[in-house]
Homo-oligomer: A and B are copies of this chain.
Amino acid sequence: MAQVDMASWKEKIRAQLARDREQAIALLQSWVQEKSVQGQEASIQRKIADYLTNLGLEVDMWIMGGDELLRHPYFVSPRTSFEESPNVVGIWRGTGGGRSMILNGHVDVVPEGDRNQWEHDPYSGLVIDGKLYGRGSTDMKGGNLSSLLAIQTLKALGVRLKGDVIFESVVEEESGGAGTLATILRGYKADAALVPELTNMKIFPKQQGSMWFRLIVKGRGAHGGTRYEGVSAIEKSMLVVKAIAALEKRRNDRITDPLYAKLPIPIPINIGTIEGGKWPSSVPDEVKLEGRMGVAPGEEMADAKAEMAQALADLAKEDPWFAEHPVALEWFGAQWVPGQVADDHPLMDILRETYHEVMGKEVVVEAAPWGTDAGLLIKLADTPAIVIGPGVTQLGHYSNEYIELDAVFHCAEIFALTLLEWCGIAE
Protein backbone atom coordinates (compact mmCIF):
# COMPACT_ATOMS: atom_id res chain seq x y z
CA MET A 1 0.00 0.00 0.00
CA ALA A 2 1.25 3.42 -0.85
CA GLN A 3 2.48 5.73 1.87
CA VAL A 4 1.49 8.84 -0.07
CA ASP A 5 -1.92 9.91 -1.31
CA MET A 6 -1.43 8.98 -4.96
CA ALA A 7 -4.58 10.50 -6.41
CA SER A 8 -4.06 13.86 -4.78
CA TRP A 9 -0.38 14.10 -5.69
CA LYS A 10 -1.12 13.00 -9.24
CA GLU A 11 -3.43 16.00 -9.70
CA LYS A 12 -0.86 18.45 -8.33
CA ILE A 13 1.93 16.95 -10.46
CA ARG A 14 -0.20 16.91 -13.59
CA ALA A 15 -1.21 20.54 -13.10
CA GLN A 16 2.41 21.61 -12.63
CA LEU A 17 3.48 19.67 -15.74
CA ALA A 18 0.74 21.36 -17.71
CA ARG A 19 2.08 24.75 -16.63
CA ASP A 20 5.61 23.76 -17.70
CA ARG A 21 4.63 21.93 -20.89
CA GLU A 22 5.73 24.47 -23.52
CA GLN A 23 9.00 25.17 -21.73
CA ALA A 24 9.69 21.43 -21.44
CA ILE A 25 9.04 20.78 -25.13
CA ALA A 26 11.37 23.61 -26.07
CA LEU A 27 14.01 22.07 -23.82
CA LEU A 28 13.68 18.68 -25.52
CA GLN A 29 13.87 20.37 -28.92
CA SER A 30 17.11 22.04 -27.94
CA TRP A 31 18.50 18.65 -26.81
CA VAL A 32 17.55 16.90 -30.05
CA GLN A 33 19.07 19.75 -32.04
CA GLU A 34 22.39 18.89 -30.41
CA LYS A 35 23.99 16.23 -32.65
CA SER A 36 25.42 14.29 -29.70
CA VAL A 37 26.94 11.39 -31.59
CA GLN A 38 29.97 9.74 -30.08
CA GLY A 39 32.72 12.29 -29.42
CA GLN A 40 30.37 15.29 -29.74
CA GLU A 41 28.48 15.24 -26.45
CA ALA A 42 30.17 18.21 -24.73
CA SER A 43 27.67 20.84 -25.88
CA ILE A 44 24.51 19.07 -24.72
CA GLN A 45 26.17 18.02 -21.46
CA ARG A 46 27.10 21.64 -20.64
CA LYS A 47 23.51 22.63 -21.37
CA ILE A 48 22.21 19.94 -19.02
CA ALA A 49 24.72 20.78 -16.28
CA ASP A 50 23.63 24.43 -16.39
CA TYR A 51 20.00 23.41 -16.24
CA LEU A 52 20.58 21.17 -13.21
CA THR A 53 22.52 23.94 -11.47
CA ASN A 54 19.64 26.36 -12.05
CA LEU A 55 17.27 23.75 -10.58
CA GLY A 56 19.37 23.82 -7.42
CA LEU A 57 21.05 20.42 -7.76
CA GLU A 58 24.67 19.72 -6.82
CA VAL A 59 26.32 19.21 -10.21
CA ASP A 60 29.33 17.00 -10.96
CA MET A 61 30.66 17.26 -14.51
CA TRP A 62 33.89 15.50 -15.43
CA ILE A 63 35.91 13.95 -18.20
CA MET A 64 36.27 10.27 -17.47
CA GLY A 65 39.54 8.40 -17.90
CA GLY A 66 42.40 6.90 -15.97
CA ASP A 67 43.65 3.38 -15.49
CA GLU A 68 40.89 2.30 -13.14
CA LEU A 69 38.39 2.94 -15.93
CA LEU A 70 40.44 1.98 -18.98
CA ARG A 71 41.66 -1.29 -17.45
CA HIS A 72 38.35 -2.25 -15.88
CA PRO A 73 37.16 -5.69 -17.09
CA TYR A 74 33.81 -4.16 -18.07
CA PHE A 75 35.30 -1.20 -19.91
CA VAL A 76 34.45 -1.39 -23.60
CA SER A 77 34.73 1.48 -26.01
CA PRO A 78 36.32 2.07 -29.40
CA ARG A 79 38.22 4.98 -27.79
CA THR A 80 40.26 5.73 -24.69
CA SER A 81 40.06 9.53 -24.65
CA PHE A 82 36.81 11.31 -23.85
CA GLU A 83 37.76 14.99 -24.06
CA GLU A 84 34.58 16.13 -25.80
CA SER A 85 32.37 13.67 -23.91
CA PRO A 86 31.93 14.69 -20.26
CA ASN A 87 29.63 12.85 -17.90
CA VAL A 88 27.17 14.90 -15.84
CA VAL A 89 25.57 13.95 -12.52
CA GLY A 90 23.14 16.16 -10.59
CA ILE A 91 22.27 15.34 -6.97
CA TRP A 92 19.07 16.43 -5.32
CA ARG A 93 20.15 15.82 -1.75
CA GLY A 94 17.47 14.35 0.55
CA THR A 95 16.88 15.30 4.16
CA GLY A 96 17.95 11.82 5.30
CA GLY A 97 16.32 8.58 6.28
CA GLY A 98 14.85 7.78 2.87
CA ARG A 99 15.76 5.43 0.04
CA SER A 100 17.92 6.88 -2.68
CA MET A 101 17.20 6.66 -6.40
CA ILE A 102 19.33 6.97 -9.53
CA LEU A 103 17.66 8.25 -12.71
CA ASN A 104 20.10 7.17 -15.40
CA GLY A 105 19.98 8.05 -19.10
CA HIS A 106 22.41 8.50 -21.97
CA VAL A 107 22.81 11.50 -24.25
CA ASP A 108 24.88 9.81 -26.95
CA VAL A 109 22.96 8.92 -30.09
CA VAL A 110 23.74 6.55 -32.96
CA PRO A 111 24.58 8.15 -36.31
CA GLU A 112 21.61 9.18 -38.44
CA GLY A 113 22.50 6.75 -41.28
CA ASP A 114 21.34 7.46 -44.80
CA ARG A 115 20.22 11.11 -44.80
CA ASN A 116 17.93 10.45 -47.76
CA GLN A 117 15.73 8.17 -45.71
CA TRP A 118 14.82 11.09 -43.39
CA GLU A 119 11.86 13.24 -44.30
CA HIS A 120 13.25 16.17 -42.27
CA ASP A 121 16.67 17.15 -40.99
CA PRO A 122 17.70 14.33 -38.59
CA TYR A 123 18.37 16.95 -35.91
CA SER A 124 15.36 19.18 -36.53
CA GLY A 125 13.45 18.69 -33.25
CA LEU A 126 10.32 19.49 -35.30
CA VAL A 127 7.01 18.99 -33.48
CA ILE A 128 4.20 17.67 -35.71
CA ASP A 129 0.92 16.27 -34.37
CA GLY A 130 2.23 15.78 -30.85
CA LYS A 131 5.40 14.02 -32.02
CA LEU A 132 8.88 15.48 -31.67
CA TYR A 133 11.20 14.33 -34.49
CA GLY A 134 14.90 13.75 -34.64
CA ARG A 135 17.75 11.34 -33.95
CA GLY A 136 17.84 10.63 -30.21
CA SER A 137 14.28 11.79 -29.55
CA THR A 138 13.10 8.29 -28.65
CA ASP A 139 16.56 6.88 -27.78
CA MET A 140 16.60 8.41 -25.27
CA LYS A 141 16.42 12.16 -24.80
CA GLY A 142 12.64 11.92 -24.34
CA GLY A 143 13.16 9.56 -21.42
CA ASN A 144 15.82 11.81 -19.94
CA LEU A 145 13.35 14.68 -20.03
CA SER A 146 10.82 12.55 -18.11
CA SER A 147 13.41 12.04 -15.34
CA LEU A 148 14.31 15.71 -15.24
CA LEU A 149 10.67 16.81 -15.21
CA ALA A 150 9.96 14.49 -12.27
CA ILE A 151 12.56 16.36 -10.22
CA GLN A 152 11.65 19.81 -11.53
CA THR A 153 7.96 19.26 -10.83
CA LEU A 154 8.43 18.04 -7.27
CA LYS A 155 10.72 20.98 -6.55
CA ALA A 156 8.21 23.40 -8.09
CA LEU A 157 5.57 21.92 -5.78
CA GLY A 158 7.81 22.60 -2.78
CA VAL A 159 8.47 18.93 -2.07
CA ARG A 160 11.50 17.87 -0.04
CA LEU A 161 12.40 14.16 -0.22
CA LYS A 162 14.10 12.08 2.44
CA GLY A 163 16.26 10.04 0.05
CA ASP A 164 18.74 11.40 -2.47
CA VAL A 165 17.80 11.58 -6.15
CA ILE A 166 20.78 11.22 -8.46
CA PHE A 167 20.20 12.34 -12.05
CA GLU A 168 22.84 10.80 -14.33
CA SER A 169 23.34 12.12 -17.85
CA VAL A 170 25.93 9.74 -19.29
CA VAL A 171 27.85 9.21 -22.51
CA GLU A 172 28.92 6.03 -24.33
CA GLU A 173 25.83 3.88 -23.77
CA GLU A 174 25.57 3.10 -27.47
CA SER A 175 29.13 1.75 -27.37
CA GLY A 176 28.69 -0.41 -24.29
CA GLY A 177 28.33 1.72 -21.16
CA ALA A 178 31.71 3.28 -20.36
CA GLY A 179 29.88 6.43 -19.20
CA THR A 180 27.78 4.65 -16.59
CA LEU A 181 30.79 2.52 -15.60
CA ALA A 182 32.63 5.78 -14.87
CA THR A 183 29.79 7.01 -12.62
CA ILE A 184 30.01 3.75 -10.67
CA LEU A 185 33.79 4.04 -10.31
CA ARG A 186 33.26 7.64 -9.13
CA GLY A 187 31.14 6.25 -6.31
CA TYR A 188 27.58 6.80 -7.47
CA LYS A 189 25.19 4.09 -6.34
CA ALA A 190 21.71 4.06 -4.82
CA ASP A 191 19.02 1.85 -3.36
CA ALA A 192 17.47 1.54 -6.81
CA ALA A 193 17.60 3.00 -10.28
CA LEU A 194 15.25 3.80 -13.13
CA VAL A 195 16.56 3.81 -16.69
CA PRO A 196 13.99 5.40 -19.05
CA GLU A 197 15.07 3.63 -22.23
CA LEU A 198 12.55 3.03 -24.98
CA THR A 199 10.17 0.42 -23.47
CA ASN A 200 6.98 2.11 -24.69
CA MET A 201 6.13 2.44 -20.96
CA LYS A 202 6.34 -1.28 -20.33
CA ILE A 203 8.35 -2.38 -17.29
CA PHE A 204 11.47 -4.33 -18.21
CA PRO A 205 12.80 -5.86 -14.97
CA LYS A 206 15.00 -8.24 -16.95
CA GLN A 207 17.24 -7.36 -19.81
CA GLN A 208 19.39 -9.39 -22.06
CA GLY A 209 23.01 -8.52 -22.43
CA SER A 210 24.77 -8.38 -25.74
CA MET A 211 28.25 -8.58 -27.12
CA TRP A 212 29.81 -7.77 -30.45
CA PHE A 213 31.74 -10.41 -32.35
CA ARG A 214 33.89 -10.52 -35.44
CA LEU A 215 34.37 -13.66 -37.54
CA ILE A 216 37.07 -14.17 -40.13
CA VAL A 217 36.24 -16.89 -42.65
CA LYS A 218 39.09 -18.11 -44.81
CA GLY A 219 39.04 -19.22 -48.42
CA ARG A 220 41.78 -19.74 -50.97
CA GLY A 221 42.28 -17.24 -53.75
CA ALA A 222 42.23 -18.18 -57.42
CA HIS A 223 41.51 -16.63 -60.79
CA GLY A 224 37.76 -16.36 -61.27
CA GLY A 225 38.02 -18.06 -64.68
CA THR A 226 39.29 -21.20 -62.95
CA ARG A 227 37.43 -20.65 -59.73
CA TYR A 228 37.27 -24.41 -59.09
CA GLU A 229 40.97 -24.20 -58.23
CA GLY A 230 40.20 -21.90 -55.29
CA VAL A 231 37.85 -21.99 -52.35
CA SER A 232 35.38 -19.14 -52.06
CA ALA A 233 35.31 -17.53 -48.63
CA ILE A 234 31.86 -16.18 -49.59
CA GLU A 235 30.54 -19.72 -50.08
CA LYS A 236 32.13 -20.82 -46.80
CA SER A 237 30.58 -17.79 -45.10
CA MET A 238 27.15 -19.06 -46.10
CA LEU A 239 27.81 -22.17 -43.99
CA VAL A 240 28.93 -19.96 -41.11
CA VAL A 241 25.78 -17.83 -41.35
CA LYS A 242 23.72 -21.04 -41.30
CA ALA A 243 25.60 -22.33 -38.25
CA ILE A 244 25.01 -19.04 -36.41
CA ALA A 245 21.29 -19.27 -37.21
CA ALA A 246 21.20 -22.82 -35.81
CA LEU A 247 23.04 -21.66 -32.69
CA GLU A 248 20.54 -18.83 -32.25
CA LYS A 249 17.70 -21.35 -32.49
CA ARG A 250 19.22 -23.72 -29.92
CA ARG A 251 19.85 -20.87 -27.47
CA ASN A 252 16.36 -19.46 -27.83
CA ASP A 253 14.65 -22.84 -27.57
CA ARG A 254 16.03 -22.95 -24.03
CA ILE A 255 14.38 -19.66 -22.99
CA THR A 256 11.18 -20.47 -21.08
CA ASP A 257 10.84 -17.26 -19.04
CA PRO A 258 7.23 -16.07 -19.56
CA LEU A 259 8.48 -12.47 -19.73
CA TYR A 260 9.95 -13.44 -23.12
CA ALA A 261 6.79 -15.15 -24.38
CA LYS A 262 5.84 -12.36 -26.77
CA LEU A 263 9.24 -11.99 -28.41
CA PRO A 264 9.70 -14.09 -31.59
CA ILE A 265 13.42 -14.43 -30.79
CA PRO A 266 14.20 -13.59 -27.13
CA ILE A 267 17.97 -13.33 -27.47
CA PRO A 268 18.81 -12.79 -31.14
CA ILE A 269 22.15 -13.17 -32.80
CA ASN A 270 22.34 -10.50 -35.48
CA ILE A 271 24.91 -10.53 -38.25
CA GLY A 272 25.19 -6.86 -39.03
CA THR A 273 28.04 -6.50 -41.50
CA ILE A 274 29.82 -8.58 -44.11
CA GLU A 275 32.86 -7.74 -46.16
CA GLY A 276 35.15 -9.88 -48.25
CA GLY A 277 37.07 -10.28 -51.47
CA LYS A 278 39.01 -7.60 -53.30
CA TRP A 279 38.44 -8.19 -56.97
CA PRO A 280 35.37 -9.29 -58.97
CA SER A 281 37.31 -11.87 -60.96
CA SER A 282 39.28 -13.38 -58.09
CA VAL A 283 38.00 -16.07 -55.75
CA PRO A 284 37.65 -14.29 -52.37
CA ASP A 285 40.15 -15.61 -49.83
CA GLU A 286 38.68 -13.96 -46.76
CA VAL A 287 35.32 -12.72 -45.50
CA LYS A 288 34.76 -10.73 -42.32
CA LEU A 289 31.43 -10.85 -40.52
CA GLU A 290 30.48 -8.65 -37.57
CA GLY A 291 27.48 -9.10 -35.35
CA ARG A 292 25.79 -8.88 -32.00
CA MET A 293 24.97 -11.82 -29.76
CA GLY A 294 22.22 -11.60 -27.15
CA VAL A 295 22.93 -12.94 -23.64
CA ALA A 296 20.07 -14.16 -21.44
CA PRO A 297 19.43 -12.21 -18.20
CA GLY A 298 20.65 -15.04 -15.97
CA GLU A 299 23.48 -16.14 -18.24
CA GLU A 300 27.19 -15.50 -17.77
CA MET A 301 28.70 -13.68 -20.74
CA ALA A 302 31.65 -16.10 -20.67
CA ASP A 303 29.28 -19.05 -21.14
CA ALA A 304 27.65 -17.44 -24.15
CA LYS A 305 31.08 -16.77 -25.65
CA ALA A 306 32.08 -20.41 -25.14
CA GLU A 307 28.89 -21.62 -26.82
CA MET A 308 29.61 -19.48 -29.88
CA ALA A 309 33.19 -20.77 -30.03
CA GLN A 310 31.91 -24.36 -29.87
CA ALA A 311 29.38 -23.81 -32.65
CA LEU A 312 32.16 -22.49 -34.88
CA ALA A 313 34.47 -25.38 -33.96
CA ASP A 314 31.68 -27.83 -34.83
CA LEU A 315 31.72 -26.55 -38.41
CA ALA A 316 34.70 -28.83 -38.99
CA LYS A 317 32.39 -31.84 -38.64
CA GLU A 318 30.23 -30.55 -41.49
CA ASP A 319 33.03 -29.44 -43.80
CA PRO A 320 36.65 -30.55 -43.49
CA TRP A 321 37.74 -27.15 -44.85
CA PHE A 322 37.00 -25.67 -41.43
CA ALA A 323 39.23 -28.25 -39.72
CA GLU A 324 42.24 -26.81 -41.49
CA HIS A 325 40.91 -23.25 -41.67
CA PRO A 326 38.94 -22.64 -38.47
CA VAL A 327 36.80 -19.53 -38.34
CA ALA A 328 38.56 -16.90 -36.23
CA LEU A 329 36.35 -15.43 -33.48
CA GLU A 330 37.02 -12.11 -31.78
CA TRP A 331 34.91 -10.21 -29.22
CA PHE A 332 35.33 -6.51 -29.82
CA GLY A 333 33.74 -3.13 -29.38
CA ALA A 334 30.53 -2.84 -27.46
CA GLN A 335 29.04 -5.09 -24.82
CA TRP A 336 26.05 -4.71 -22.54
CA VAL A 337 25.87 -6.72 -19.32
CA PRO A 338 22.64 -8.67 -18.77
CA GLY A 339 20.74 -8.10 -15.56
CA GLN A 340 17.52 -8.71 -13.69
CA VAL A 341 15.51 -7.43 -10.76
CA ALA A 342 13.22 -9.83 -8.90
CA ASP A 343 9.54 -9.55 -9.66
CA ASP A 344 8.77 -8.99 -5.95
CA HIS A 345 11.26 -6.15 -5.54
CA PRO A 346 9.51 -3.23 -3.76
CA LEU A 347 10.22 -0.86 -6.65
CA MET A 348 8.29 -3.20 -8.97
CA ASP A 349 5.22 -2.85 -6.75
CA ILE A 350 5.53 0.92 -6.65
CA LEU A 351 5.90 1.14 -10.42
CA ARG A 352 2.84 -1.05 -10.95
CA GLU A 353 0.85 1.22 -8.65
CA THR A 354 2.05 4.56 -10.00
CA TYR A 355 1.60 3.38 -13.58
CA HIS A 356 -1.98 2.34 -12.81
CA GLU A 357 -2.64 5.67 -11.10
CA VAL A 358 -1.42 7.69 -14.09
CA MET A 359 -2.54 5.50 -16.99
CA GLY A 360 -5.69 3.93 -15.54
CA LYS A 361 -4.66 0.41 -16.56
CA GLU A 362 -2.27 -2.39 -15.68
CA VAL A 363 1.29 -2.02 -16.75
CA VAL A 364 2.78 -4.64 -19.09
CA VAL A 365 5.87 -6.40 -17.72
CA GLU A 366 8.25 -7.89 -20.27
CA ALA A 367 11.91 -8.69 -20.73
CA ALA A 368 14.06 -6.22 -22.64
CA PRO A 369 15.02 -7.24 -26.17
CA TRP A 370 18.33 -5.37 -25.79
CA GLY A 371 20.88 -4.39 -23.19
CA THR A 372 21.08 -1.05 -21.37
CA ASP A 373 23.28 0.52 -18.72
CA ALA A 374 20.94 -1.01 -16.10
CA GLY A 375 23.03 -4.19 -16.37
CA LEU A 376 26.15 -2.38 -15.12
CA LEU A 377 24.24 -0.74 -12.23
CA ILE A 378 22.95 -4.16 -11.13
CA LYS A 379 26.22 -6.03 -11.60
CA LEU A 380 28.76 -3.50 -10.36
CA ALA A 381 26.94 -0.89 -8.22
CA ASP A 382 24.68 -3.22 -6.26
CA THR A 383 21.83 -1.01 -7.47
CA PRO A 384 18.66 -2.81 -8.62
CA ALA A 385 17.80 -1.09 -11.87
CA ILE A 386 14.53 -1.23 -13.80
CA VAL A 387 14.05 -0.06 -17.36
CA ILE A 388 10.86 1.86 -18.21
CA GLY A 389 10.55 4.82 -20.52
CA PRO A 390 8.44 6.61 -23.13
CA GLY A 391 10.40 5.78 -26.29
CA VAL A 392 9.56 3.01 -28.75
CA THR A 393 12.02 0.31 -29.89
CA GLN A 394 10.66 0.33 -33.42
CA LEU A 395 11.80 3.96 -33.78
CA GLY A 396 15.23 3.83 -32.16
CA HIS A 397 18.20 3.65 -34.53
CA TYR A 398 15.81 4.22 -37.50
CA SER A 399 15.30 7.12 -39.83
CA ASN A 400 12.43 9.49 -38.99
CA GLU A 401 12.83 8.71 -35.28
CA TYR A 402 10.33 10.58 -33.08
CA ILE A 403 8.84 10.56 -29.59
CA GLU A 404 5.19 10.94 -28.53
CA LEU A 405 5.23 14.00 -26.28
CA ASP A 406 2.25 12.78 -24.22
CA ALA A 407 4.24 9.67 -23.32
CA VAL A 408 7.10 11.83 -22.04
CA PHE A 409 4.75 13.69 -19.70
CA HIS A 410 3.01 10.51 -18.56
CA CYS A 411 6.37 9.02 -17.71
CA ALA A 412 7.29 12.18 -15.79
CA GLU A 413 4.10 11.81 -13.73
CA ILE A 414 4.87 8.16 -13.00
CA PHE A 415 8.48 8.97 -12.05
CA ALA A 416 7.44 11.88 -9.80
CA LEU A 417 4.92 9.69 -7.94
CA THR A 418 7.51 6.90 -7.73
CA LEU A 419 10.09 9.27 -6.20
CA LEU A 420 7.57 10.42 -3.58
CA GLU A 421 6.81 6.83 -2.62
CA TRP A 422 10.35 5.44 -2.88
CA CYS A 423 12.38 8.26 -1.36
CA GLY A 424 9.71 9.42 1.10
CA ILE A 425 8.41 12.95 1.70
CA ALA A 426 10.20 14.90 4.39
CA GLU A 427 7.80 16.48 6.89
Interface residues of A (CB under 8 A from B): 110-111, 113-114, 117, 139, 208, 210, 212-213, 221-230, 232, 234-235, 237-238, 241-242, 263-265, 268, 270-287, 290-292, 294, 333-334, 368-371, 393-394, 396-399
How many whole Å from A90's CB to the nearest CB in chain B?
28
Q: Which one of B114, B139, B290 lies within 8 Å of A280 (CB-CB)?
A: B290
Contacts A224-B270, A272-B281 given; 7 further ones with Cβ under 8 A? A210-B224, A212-B280, A223-B398, A272-B278, A272-B280, A274-B276, A280-B333
Question: Which of A113, A210, A263, A294 is packed against the most chain B CB atoms within 10 Å?
Answer: A113
- Bound together, the chains give a CA A416 to CA B265 distance in angstroms of 71
Verify B113–A292 contact, CB threshold 8 A: no
Verify B273–A369 contact, CB threshold 8 A: no
Q: Which one of B111, B225, B237, B334 lies within 8 Å of A208 (CB-CB)?
A: B225
- Bound together, the chains give a CA A237 to CA B273 distance in angstroms of 12
- Bound together, the chains give a CA A145 to CA B101 distance in angstroms of 80
- Bound together, the chains give a CA A230 to CA B264 distance in angstroms of 12
Chain B residues near A139 (CB, 8 Å)? 223
- Bound together, the chains give a CA A234 to CA B288 distance in angstroms of 12
Given contacts A234-B271, A238-B238, A393-B229, contact A279 B222 (CB under 8 A): no
Verify B334–A280 contact, CB threshold 8 A: yes
Chain B residues near A290 (CB, 8 Å)? 277, 280
Residue pairs across A and B with Cβ atoms less than 8 A apart, 13 shown, are A111-B279, A208-B225, A223-B370, A223-B393, A224-B270, A224-B291, A225-B393, A226-B369, A228-B264, A274-B277, A277-B290, A281-B397, A282-B397
Verify B228–A282 contact, CB threshold 8 A: no
Chain B residues near A394 (CB, 8 Å)? 222, 226, 229
Chain B residues near A283 (CB, 8 Å)? 270, 272
Verify A287–B274 contact, CB threshold 8 A: yes
Verify B225–A268 contact, CB threshold 8 A: yes
How many whole Å from A133's CB to the nearest CB in chain B?
16
Verify B294–A225 contact, CB threshold 8 A: yes
How many whole Å from A1's CB to the nearest CB in chain B?
36
Verify B227–A270 contact, CB threshold 8 A: yes
How many whole Å from A365's CB to the nearest CB in chain B?
18
How many whole Å from A109's CB to the nearest CB in chain B?
11
- Bound together, the chains give a CA A368 to CA B225 distance in angstroms of 9
- Bound together, the chains give a CA A281 to CA B272 distance in angstroms of 6
Verify A221–B113 contact, CB threshold 8 A: yes
Given contacts A273-B278, A285-B113, contact A292 B241 (CB under 8 A): no
- Bound together, the chains give a CA A230 to CA B284 distance in angstroms of 28
Chain B residues near A222 (CB, 8 Å)? 394, 397-398
Chain B residues near A292 (CB, 8 Å)? 224-225, 280-281
Q: Which one of B225, B274, B282 lies within 8 Å of A274 (CB-CB)?
A: B274
How many whole Å from A60's CB to the nearest CB in chain B?
29
Verify B273–A276 contact, CB threshold 8 A: yes
- Bound together, the chains give a CA A270 to CA B227 distance in angstroms of 7
- Bound together, the chains give a CA A238 to CA B236 distance in angstroms of 11
Chain B residues near A282 (CB, 8 Å)? 110, 113, 270, 272, 397
How many whole Å from A239's CB to the nearest CB in chain B?
10
Given contacts A222-B398, A393-B225, A394-B229, contact A277 B272 (CB under 8 A): yes
How many whole Å from A204's CB to the nearest CB in chain B?
11
Chain B residues near A277 (CB, 8 Å)? 271-274, 290
Verify A227–B268 contact, CB threshold 8 A: yes
Chain B residues near A281 (CB, 8 Å)? 210, 212, 270, 272, 291-292, 334, 370, 397
Chain B residues near A212 (CB, 8 Å)? 280-281
